[in-house]
């Protein structure tokens, strides 16, 4: 019986996933860096345009904002489904109180202040973030 050679990422010519993540993360960060100010300015202009739209403009109406060289098309609002109060009452009857309450989502910005934790709990259950941290050159040499 012959032993098969050890198959490694390096032997397959593949990059280690952690190193690939770090390399791609750096590439994206460097590529986007010159545009961060422009991205923020676009968001600010969008908010400005939304603030100057006529208050009577309905969600199914389109409009235009005219500039000297361009016309900005303001699209219809996207469709969004919301449960009505009557619908909530029907769902409560359909699911029962406990199931209904377990499915309810209340946004944190809708809550009154709750410093004593009377009706909220704060826990680290949100999304995780990954940051690439370069290793010192001597550690890289040892890992290879």
Q: Dump pLDDT digits (tens) for 64-95.
A: 999 999 999 999 999 988 899 999 999 999 99
Bridge partners (DSSP) of residue 63 are: 74
pLDDT band at residue 8 under the 50/70/90 scheme: low
pLDDT given for residue 35 in this prediction: 94
DSSP 3-state assignment of 103? helix
Provide the CB-side half-sphere exposure for 99 (13 A, CA): 8
CB 65 within 8 A of CB 74: yes
Q: Is the pLDDT of residue 55 over 80?
A: yes
Q: Identify the pLDDT of residue 12.
A: 65
Would you place residue 136 in the very low, low, confident or very high pLDDT band (cuts 50, 70, 90)? confident
């Amino acid at each position: 019986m012959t032993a098969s050679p050890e198959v490694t990422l390096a032997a397959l010519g593949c990059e280690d996933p952690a190193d690939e993540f770090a390399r791609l993360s750096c590439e994206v960060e460097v590529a986007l860096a010159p545009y961060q100010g422009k991205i923020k300015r676009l968001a600010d202009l969008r908010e400005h345009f939304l603030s100057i739209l006529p208050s009577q403009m309905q969600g199914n109406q389109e409009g235009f904002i005219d500039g000297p060289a361009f016309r900005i098309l303001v699209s219809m609002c996207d469709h969004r489904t919301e449960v009505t109060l009557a619908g909530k009452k029907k769902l409560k009857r359909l699911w029962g109180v406990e199931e209904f309450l377990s499915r309810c989502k209340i946004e944190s910005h809708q809550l009154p202040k709750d410093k004593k934790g009377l009706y909220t709990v704060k826990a680290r259950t949100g999304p995780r973030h990954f940051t690439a941290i370069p290793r010192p050159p001597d550690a890289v040499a040892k890992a290879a």
